[in-house]
C-alpha cells in the first residue's frame, strides 16, 4: 500500500507541474476577460462616473485596462497603482515550458508586486488587451489550487493502494501463502504421496508454479521411494556378497589342490575354474567396497607422479606374466603434482588393469602407454592401449557401477570408483578415444592455487 501510494503520488506530481501552470494561465486569462467586459461600459458611454470606474476595476481585480483597436492604443480604465510594474507576461502565444517556468517563479516569489499581462481580446474585439494586476491574489489562488490538487491526489492514492492491496491479497498473496503451506506440509513427510500439491490457483503464473512444484514433488517422492528400496537392496547384496566371498575363498583354496592333479581333463578344466572363482571373489570384494560409505576426501600433498606410475606398471607386469604386453611411460622429469598419492594410484591402477585385461582378452600382443602433460592450469594424465576398443553398450554407461563393464564378466566398478576419486580432486575422468586401434582415458587434475 505504501509503495502504491508513493507511485501514484509521483504520477500526480508529474501531472501537477503542467496543471499549476495551466491554472495560472487561466487565472490571468479570466482577468483579461473581466477587464474587457468592464471596458465595454466605457466604449458604450465615453463619460462614466469615477465611482463606477473604480467598481469595475475592483470587480475585474485589475488596476488599468489598455485596449488596442484599429491600431490605436487606448487606456480605457485606470486607477492609481501602489507600486511600479515588476514584470510583463504575454499570453497570446506562450510555450508550455515558458508557462511552467513562470508559474514556479511566481510560487517562489513571496513579495507583493504588480505585473502587466497582455492577451488577445475575445470575439475579436481588438488586436490587444493589456492589464495590470497584483501578484499576491494570483499566488494565493495558485497555492490554494495546489493544496486541493495534492489532497485529492493523496486521497486517490490511498484508495487506489487499498484496492490494489485487496486485489493482490485475493489473487496473489493467498495463493502464494497456500503454496508455501503445501511446501511446509510436504516437507514433513515427502514420502507421502497424499501431501503432493494439487494445482488450484486461478492466476496463470501461480498455477504454473504449482504445476512445476507438483512435478518436482512427484519426482522427489518417487526418488525417495526408489532410494529406500535401493538401500534395502544394497544391504541385502552386501550381506550376500560377504557370505559368498567367504564361500568362494574356501573354494579357491581347493582349486589350488585341483591344479596339482595329474588327470589331463582336470588339468584342462582347472585354469577355467580358477579364473571363474577369482573373478567371482573380485566381484564380491568390489561390491563390498563400493557399498561402503563414500570415499574419504583426498589428502592433497605434493607428490612425484613418476613414482606412482612406476608402482602401477610394476604391479601390472606381475599380472601380465608371459603375455606379450609392453608398458611404455612418458612422464616429464621431476613432475610433481598436488594429489592424494594412494587415491591417484588406485585411479591409474584401475585404468591400467582395464587396458591390460582388454589386450589379454584378444590373445594378441599389445602396448599400454602412460603419459603426462603439465599444462598452465591442469595436469593431464593419459592411459592409452592398443586393445580392441570399447563396445557401444559399454560407452553408454561407462562410469556407472554395475552397468559400465567393458568385458564379459566385468562389473564396471573400476571406472566408477576411479571417476569418483578424480572428482574428489576437483578433476574429471573422460574417455578421449576408443576405436579398433585402441582406447585412451584422460585424467584432468586442476592446479588451482597450488602451482609449483
pTM of the shown model: 0.44
According to the model, what pLDDT value does residue 235 have?
A: 64
What's the pLDDT tens digit per position in 148-174?
A: 988 888 888 888 888 888 888 888 888
Concatenated DSSP letters for 376-440? SSEEEEEEEE-S----HHHHHTTTSTTT---STT--SHHHHHHHHHHHHTT-EEEEEEEETTEEE
Q: Is the dihedral of CA 282, 345, 320, 441 positive or negative?
A: positive
- Which residues partner with 359 through β-bridges? none
- SS3 letters across 197-265: CCCCCCCHHHHHHHHHHHHHHHHHHHHHHHHHHHHHHHHHHHHHHHHHHHHHHHHHHHHHHHHCCCCHH
Which position has the higher pLDDT, 267 or 349?
349
Q: How does residue 243 score in pLDDT terms, banded at 50, 70 and 90?
A: low
According to the model, what pLDDT value does residue 323 have?
A: 81
Q: Which domains does the chain have, with CATH numbers?
A: 2-157 (no CATH), 204-291 (1.10.287), 301-446 (3.30.565.10)
Which position has the higher pLDDT, 259 or 38?
38
What's the pLDDT tens digit per position in 62-110?
A: 888 888 876 777 777 788 888 888 889 998 888 889 999 999 898 888 8
Report the distance separating Cα 333 and Cα 418, nearest Å.
25
Burial 62-88 (b: 16+ CB within 10 A, else e): bbbbbbeeeeeeeebbeeeeeeeeeee
According to the model, what pLDDT value does residue 442 have?
A: 95
What's the pLDDT tens digit per position in 117-160?
A: 998 887 766 678 888 998 999 999 999 998 998 888 888 888 88
How far is the CA of 382 from the CAs of 351, 361, 367, 368, 440, in angstroms? 10, 22, 14, 10, 7
pLDDT greater than 50 at residue 451? no
- List the one residue out of 144, 186, 152 whose CA is nearest residue 20: 144
Q: Is the dihedral of CA 56, 60, 61, 66 positive or negative?
A: negative
- Pseudo-torsion of CA 80, 99, 110, 129, nearest 10°? 0
What's the pLDDT tens digit per position in 177-212?
A: 888 888 888 888 887 778 888 888 877 888 888 889
The rounded mean pLDDT for the chain is 81
Report the distance separating Cα 372 and Cα 344, nearest Å.
13
> Is residue 47 classed as helix, strand or coil in its secondary structure?
coil
Burial 231-266 (b: 16+ CB within 10 A, else e): eeeeeebbeebeebbeebeebeeebeeeeeeeeeee
Report the distance separating Cα 215 and Cα 262, nearest Å.
67
Amino acid at each position: 500500500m505504501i509503495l502504491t501510494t508513493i507511485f501514484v503520488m509521483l504520477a500526480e506530481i508529474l501531472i501537477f507541474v503542467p496543471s499549476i501552470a495551466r491554472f495560472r494561465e487561466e487565472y490571468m486569462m479570466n482577468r483579461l476577460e473581466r477587464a474587457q467586459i468592464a471596458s465595454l461600459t466605457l466604449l458604450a458611454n465615453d463619460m462614466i462616473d469615477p465611482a463606477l470606474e473604480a467598481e469595475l476595476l475592483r470587480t475585474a481585480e485589475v488596476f488599468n485596462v489598455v485596449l488596442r483597436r484599429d491600431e490605436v492604443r487606448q487606456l480605457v480604465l485606470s486607477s492609481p497603482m501602489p507600486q511600479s510594474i515588476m514584470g510583463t507576461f504575454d499570453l497570446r502565444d506562450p510555450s508550455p515550458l515558458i508557462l511552467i517556468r513562470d508559474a514556479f517563479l511566481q510560487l517562489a516569489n513571496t513579495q507583493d508586486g504588480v505585473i502587466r499581462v497582455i492577451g488577445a481580446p475575445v470575439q475579436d474585439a481588438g488586436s490587444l488587451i493589456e492589464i495590470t494586476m497584483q501578484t499576491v491574489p494570483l499566488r494565493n489562488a495558485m497555492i490554494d489550487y495546489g493544496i486541493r490538487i495534492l489532497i485529492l491526489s493523496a486521497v486517490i492514492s490511498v484508495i487506489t493502494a487499498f484496492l490494489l492491496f485487496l486485489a493482490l491479497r485475493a489473487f496473489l498473496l493467498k495463493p502464494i501463502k497456500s503454496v508455501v503451506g503445501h511446501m511446509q506440509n510436504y516437507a514433513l513427510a515427502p514420502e507421502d504421496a497424499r501431501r503432493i500439491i494439487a494445482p488450484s490457483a486461478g492466476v496463470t503464473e501461480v498455477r504454473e508454479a504449482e504445476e512445476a512444484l507438483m512435478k518436482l514433488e512427484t519426482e522427489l517422492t518417487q526418488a525417495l521411494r526408489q532410494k529406500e528400496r535401493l538401500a534395502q537392496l544394497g544391504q541385502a547384496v552386501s550381506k550376500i556378497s560377504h557370505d559368498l566371498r567367504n564361500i568362494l575363498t574356501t573354494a579357491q583354496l581347493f582349486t589350488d589342490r585341483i591344479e596339482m592333479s595329474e588327470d589331463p581333463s582336470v588339468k584342462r578344466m582347472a585354469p577355467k575354474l580358477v579364473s571363474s572363482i577369482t573373478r567371482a571373489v573380485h566381484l564380491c570384494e568390489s561390491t563390498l567396497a563400493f557399498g561402503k560409505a563414500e570415499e574419504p576426501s583426498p589428502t592433497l600433498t605434493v607428490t612425484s607422479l613418476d613414482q606412482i606410475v612406476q608402482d602401477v606398471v610394476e604391479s601390472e607386469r606381475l599380472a601380465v606374466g608371459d603375455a606379450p604386453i609392453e608398458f611404455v611411460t612418458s612422464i616429464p622429469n621431476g613432475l610433481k603434482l598436488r594429489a592424494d598419492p594412494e587415491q591417484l594410484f588406485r585411479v591409474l591402477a584401475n585404468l591400467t588393469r582395464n587396458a591390460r585385461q582388454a589386450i589379454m582378452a584378444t590373445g594378441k600382443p599389445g602396448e599400454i602407454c602412460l603419459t603426462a602433460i603439465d599444462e598452465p592450469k591442469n595436469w593431464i594424465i593419459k592411459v592409452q592401449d592398443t586393445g580392441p576398443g570399447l563396445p557401444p553398450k559399454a560407452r553408454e554407461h561407462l562410469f556407472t557401477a554395475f552397468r559400465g563393464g567393458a568385458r564379459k564378466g566385468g562389473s564396471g566398478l573400476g571406472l566408477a570408483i576411479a571417476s569418483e576419486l578424480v572428482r574428489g580432486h576437483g578433476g574429471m575422468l573422460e574417455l578421449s578415444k576408443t576405436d579398433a586401434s585402441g582406447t585412451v582415458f584422460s585424467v584432468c587434475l586442476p592446479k588451482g592455487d597450488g602451482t609449483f
